[in-house]
């Protein structure tokens, strides 16, 4: 895996809306990658770190452990689903202009191989199409050996951030 996980100084938290809304999606994600902004709390729970962010593509790394197991002793399918939702959503996020937000409206996941605790995995999300109101993206999760473990597609709704503030 070419990209290395985040540094040991990684911190977690939620960025205030005013700060988050003052930068483009790519600037926001790059600030997380660089450690200038905290990583989202879900990434701590799921043992996921941001590897890289570019326009239309995001890479994250995962290291599922015992707390991610299902009753059969393998990593719960929700782990791969969360990683895929994260990389695809962040790939869409990387295309947002200042003042835009997004939310996932549809997610379809295929689990192709078992993920075991202790495996290191890499998720890659790529935007397929970015329209004015909708974006589609695809995601793939790979093992260290390069084998495909899961793949997915998503549709995200894009909206002005002001819209969410007015509704609150």
pLDDT by residue (tens digit) across 131-158?
999 999 999 999 999 999 999 999 999 9
pLDDT digits (tens, 9 = 90+) for 38-58: 999 999 999 999 999 999 999
CB 36 within 8 A of CB 27: no
**Is it the case that residue 167 has pLDDT exceeding 80?**
no
Per-residue pLDDT at 9 exceeds 80: no
Class of domain 17-167: alpha beta
Listed by start position, the domains of the chain span: 17-167
At 2, is the pLDDT very low, low, confident or very high (cuts 50, 70, 90)? very low
Q: CB–CB of 106/81 below 8 Å?
A: no
Instruction: Place 10 in a pLDDT band, splitting at 50, 70 and 90.
Output: confident
According to the model, what pLDDT value does residue 51 have? 97
Q: What does the pLDDT read at residue 41?
A: 97
pLDDT-based confidence at 114, cuts 50/70/90? very high
- In the sheet where 148-160 sits, what is the strand order? 48-54, 57-62, 121-130, 134-143, 148-160, 100-111
Among 112, 92, 115, which residue's Cα sits nearest to residue 102? 92
Closest listed residue to residue 57, CA positions, set 5, 130, 119: 130
15-21: average pLDDT? 91
Burial class from Cβ neighbours inside 10 Å (0-12, 13-18, 19+) for residue 1 reads: middle
Q: What is the chain's mean pLDDT, rounded?
A: 92
Query: DSSP H helical segments within 72-148, as ranges?
Result: 77-93
Percent of the chain with pLDDT over 70: 91
Query: What pLDDT score does 166 carry?
Result: 43
């Amino acid at each position: 895996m070419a990209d290395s996980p985040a540094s040991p100084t990684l911190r977690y938290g939620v960025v205030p809306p005013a700060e988050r809304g003052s930068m483009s999606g790519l600037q926001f994600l790059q600030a997380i990658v660089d450690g200038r902004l905290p990583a989202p709390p879900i990434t701590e729970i799921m043992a996921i770190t941001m590897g890289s962010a570019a326009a239309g593509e995001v890479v994250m790394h995962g290291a599922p452990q015992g707390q991610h197991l299902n009753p059969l002793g393998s990593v719960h399918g929700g782990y791969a689903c969360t990683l895929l939702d994260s990389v695809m959503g962040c790939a869409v996020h990387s295309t947002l202009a200042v003042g835009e937000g997004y939310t996932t409206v549809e997610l379809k996941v295929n689990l192709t191989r078992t993920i075991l605790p202790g495996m290191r995995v890499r998720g890659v999300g790529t935007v397929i199409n970015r329209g004015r109101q909708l974006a589609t993206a695809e995601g793939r999760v790979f093992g260290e050996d390069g084998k495909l473990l899961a793949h997915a597609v998503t549709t995200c709704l894009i909206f002005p951030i002001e819209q969410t503030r007015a509704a609150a």
